[in-house]
């Protein structure tokens, strides 16, 4: 850049370098200044933006602590008490990380139940009614390599009406001969 300035203005090399430096700095400052305008066209400071972000985070934290029943802060009397019939009762706050983790866990368990049903269909033998059946011992041996939560997934599948078996709970060794029927 300084070669062009040197030839155009008949300046010495040192002067041309200095002028090129000032031109570059001016362009940089103009770029920074024009990029730091807010929506209304007013000048915005990066430090001011950081301050605003920090203040909004701090105010959000204060608001959260006012609703937190376990907070030691004074003024936590704003705790919301839901009634049992309220649809929000026993549910995490909408949009919270807890709600997101719950949804992900629900999807994961649904996939495990589907996988368990597929294993029963694969290793089970058709009964008189045409539905696949398998003993708990055989299912346990086959499914334990996939997941160590065989009984929990079985109970969830029964809750959703996908499988049927006798008894409240199944124990390895004791209930190995209990027949599990896939209903779907």
Question: Between 99 and 184, whose confidence is greater?
Answer: 99
Task: Strands of the chain (E only): list them.
Answer: 125-126, 132-135, 163-164, 179-182
Segment 143-156 shows an average pLDDT of 87
Residue 5 pLDDT more than 50? Answer: no
Query: Is 113 within 8 Å of 156 (Cβ atoms)?
Result: yes
Segment 111-125 shows an average pLDDT of 93
Tokens of 171: 């124990």
Query: Is 136 within 8 Å of 175 (Cβ atoms)?
Result: yes
Residue 90 pLDDT more than 90? Answer: no
Residue 107 pLDDT more than 70? Answer: yes
Residue 67 pLDDT more than 90? Answer: no
Tell whether pTM > 0.75: no
Looking at residue 6, its pLDDT comes to 45
Q: Which residues pair with 163 in a beta bridge?
A: 182
- Closest alpha carbon to 181 in 147, 153, 154: 154
Looking at residue 104, its pLDDT comes to 96
Query: Is 178 within 8 Å of 135 (Cβ atoms)?
Result: yes
pLDDT digits (tens, 9 = 90+) for 9-31: 555 666 666 677 777 777 776 67
CATH class of 97-182: mainly alpha
């Amino acid at each position: 850049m300084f070669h062009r300035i040197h030839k155009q203005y008949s300046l010495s090399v040192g002067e041309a370098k200095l002028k090129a430096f000032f031109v570059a700095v001016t362009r940089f400052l103009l770029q920074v200044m024009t990029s730091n305008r807010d929506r209304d066209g007013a000048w915005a400071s990066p430090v001011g933006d950081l301050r605003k972000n920090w203040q909004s985070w701090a105010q959000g934290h204060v608001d959260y602590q006012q609703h937190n029943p376990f907070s030691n802060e004074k003024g936590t009397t704003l705790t919301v008490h839901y009634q049992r019939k309220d649809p929000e009762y026993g549910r995490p706050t909408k949009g919270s990380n807890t709600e997101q983790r719950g949804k992900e866990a629900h999807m994961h368990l649904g996939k495990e139940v589907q996988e368990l049903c597929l294993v029963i269909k694969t290793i089970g033998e058709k009964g008189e009614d045409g539905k696949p059946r398998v003993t708990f011992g055989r299912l346990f041996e086959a499914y334990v390599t996939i997941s160590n939560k065989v009984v929990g997934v079985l109970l969830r599948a029964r809750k959703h009406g996908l499988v049927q078996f006798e008894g409240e709970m199944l124990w390895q060794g004791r209930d190995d001969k209990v027949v599990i029927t896939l209903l779907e």
